[in-house]
A = this chain, B = another copy of it.
Amino acid sequence: MNTPNLTKNQALVLDVLSRSEQPMSAYTILDKLRDNGFRAPLQVYRALEKLLDFGLVHRLESLNSFVACSHKHESCCQHHGTVAFAICEKCGQVSEFHDHAIDDRLRGWAQQKGFKAEKTTIELRGLCSACMG
């Protein structure tokens, strides 16, 4: 999916997410954008839907929250395939990474089972190095 020009609301939502150190729920984003005229959850959800399509934002399923993609300038490949997330329970920091070996294993399983995967979620919850005692 290529990334066309963003609309006003999309740009606002992406901006808020990009500045955040932590994942944000749709309602947290809404609160941050009240001063910009946001009044209702749908304004956030509609923007998020597009940003997810464009690959500019990821949804963390285990958190019902969203993060800006941090994969952009990586050397190994252009458009990421499956992305994995490590989420610190304490400080909330999210590390986005991908691993082609894991992709391969999952693809192999799917092929063998005749399963056609449209979307893959990989999320680690735990403690980041900075937060470990």
Binding site for B on A (CB under 8 A): 61-62, 84, 86, 88-89, 95, 97, 99, 101-102, 105-106, 109-110, 113-129, 132
Contacts and interface: CB of A to CB of B under 8 A. Distances in A.
B99 A109 contact: yes
A95 B109 CA distance: 11
A108 B61 CA distance: 23
Copy number of this protein in the oligomer? 2
- Which of A99, A110, A122 gathers the greatest number of chain B CB atoms within 10 Å? A122
A31 B114 CA distance: 34
Contact of A129 (B88, B113, B120): B113
10 closest A-B pairs by CB: A114-B129, A117-B126, A61-B61, A117-B124, A61-B62, A118-B126, A121-B123, A119-B125, A116-B127, A116-B126
Given A113-B128, A118-B125, 7 more contacts: A89-B118, A102-B102, A110-B124, A115-B129, A121-B121, A121-B125, A122-B122
B102 A114 contact: no
A120 B117 contact: no
